[in-house]
Structure 1
Amino acid sequence: MSLVLYTGTRNASSWALRAWLALREQGIAFEERIVDIRRPQRFENLARIAQFSPPAAVPVLVDGDHVIFDSLAIMEYASELGATPLLPADIQQRARARSLLAWVHSGLSGICARLSFESSFYPQRRAMTADEVEQCDRLCRVWEQALAESGGPWLFGALSLADLAFVPVVQRIVSHRPDLDGFPLAHDWCERLLARPSVVEWMDEARALPVVVMDDYKP
């Protein structure tokens, strides 16, 4: 089996990060081809992706003649390819994990919409607004409850796609609000998640890249 994963610029491509993590955590060998998705070169680069992937976006996983062009689909594919699926065995827990995955995939209902993944790597980061803190608290309560019910160390006991899907969200939240006061289980879970070797590898490469500060990054 020869897999090729097309990913994006390390400090900007949070969707590709999710797919990449699922493959790495499953110990699946793949060739990675990084596509520069910065402007203006993003348009030409993604036009080339459009030649074999309908959305003209990354990530894209090519497995022989098969093209999988959605981050969540790639994560589930990786889960099934690996020796131990990254979803709970219990049907109800699996449905709950998939509910969290779907929530992340739909944009978390606008949580911290102006705190982009790339902003977590800015050398100078602004404070969260009151609305962003409120939205962050809402998300932390979900994590806190899941961890209390599972007993940890991950949202559903064993590491799952739900944990991995939240990595870019955790990165941007913790970089702006590292203490997470009032949410001890979520705080420790965030630290464990960001300390995983696969996550550290991606983030270290992301930090080494130049950043482009977006115009809307302001209180």
Structure 2
Amino acid sequence: MYALYIANKNYSSWSLRPWVLLKALGIDFDERFVPFLQGSSYEEFRKFSPTGLVPCLVDGDLTVWDSLAITEYVAEDHSQVWPTDRAARAWARSASAEMHSGFSALRNICGMNVGVRVRMHEISPTLQANLDRIDELWSEGLSRFGGPFLAGEVFTAVDAFFCPVAFRLQTYGLKLSDSALAYAERLRSLPAMREWYEAGLAESIRDEPHDAEIALAGTLMEDLRAV
């Protein structure tokens, strides 16, 4: 059985991607939770991850790091990870890679923090450009492959890669088209996403650098996390 190392569910967008993929597709794994530490988590994470980062998947004697590499590794034994249709699969891989390497303004300004609600100070041009591209990408996938998921009728890796965006939209009240917002709500309504969200709310661990990002982005309006 796979062992998947992740960090705090409230904060760790990178951990969410392979976790929700495995959960939503019913692929068995053993969750290994290692929380962020005050200061630096590098040495603690280096005990299981060559990069000192999460997520990291261990399969027997093999260690696979980075969310995209984990996805491709799991896909070798589980064909449902990617769409069966060749055109949909090519599009899904391209969109996942774009998410994996891009959208830096959204990542840097709107860090994942599932348990709070924030009113943004402003939407910068670079952040708006990221939001516009996400809207365009989601609209293309939904219309081209018929929905309700980005590459067709079933949840696949491309949806998992955008699950953190669905939480960010909720946290920061970010605006997209009606169809894109409906898709984000569809993701948040998935049982796996509800499980992650409830666990994130229940965490009492706080990571100060992540929480400090809130004041830079906007005004904290509500904190739903456990005390």
Tell me the TM-score range normalised by the shorter chain.
0.7 to 0.9
Letter of the aligned partner of 2:171 in structure 1?
Answer: S
Change (3 A) 1:149 1:136: same
Unaligned runs of 5+ in 2: 219-227
How far is 1:109 from its partner?
A: 4.8
How far is 1:73 from its partner?
A: 1.6
Aligned counterparts of 1:67 and 1:59: Cα–Cα separation in 2: 11
Matched, 1:76 2:72: yes
Letter of the aligned partner of 2:5 in structure 1?
Answer: Y
Q: Secondary structure at the match of 1:154?
A: coil
How far is 1:101 from its partner?
A: 0.8
Which residue matches 2:103?
108
Identity %: 33
How far is 1:176 from its partner?
A: 1.7
Aligned counterparts of 2:17 and 2:102: Cα–Cα separation in 1: 14
Matched, 1:198 2:192: yes
| Partner residue of 1:95 out of 85, 90, 94 | 90
Letter of the aligned partner of 1:214 in structure 2?
Answer: A
Which residue matches 1:209?
203
Q: Secondary structure at the match of 1:129?
A: coil
- The RMSD of aligned alpha carbons is 2.2
Matched, 1:218 2:213: no
Q: After superposition, what is the alpha-carbon deviation per residue over 1:77-114, rounded to whole angstroms, capped at 9, x for unaligned?
A: 333433x5221223222111111111111132534531
Aligned counterparts of 1:195 and 1:170: Cα–Cα separation in 2: 10
Q: TM-score, normalising length from structure 2?
A: 0.82
Q: Which has the higher strand share?
A: 2
| Partner residue of 2:54 out of 37, 55, 58 | 58
Aligned counterparts of 1:56 and 1:112: Cα–Cα separation in 2: 20
Letter of the aligned partner of 2:47 in structure 1?
Answer: R
Which residue matches 2:224?
none
Unaligned runs of 5+ in 1: none
| Partner residue of 1:169 out of 140, 147, 165 | 165
Matches within 5 A, 1:6-21: 6-21=5-20
Change (3 A) 1:23 1:123: same
Letter of the aligned partner of 2:18 in structure 1?
Answer: A
Q: TM-score, normalising length from structure 1?
A: 0.85
Aligned counterparts of 1:134 and 1:3: Cα–Cα separation in 2: 38
Which residue matches 1:142?
137
Which residue matches 1:23?
22
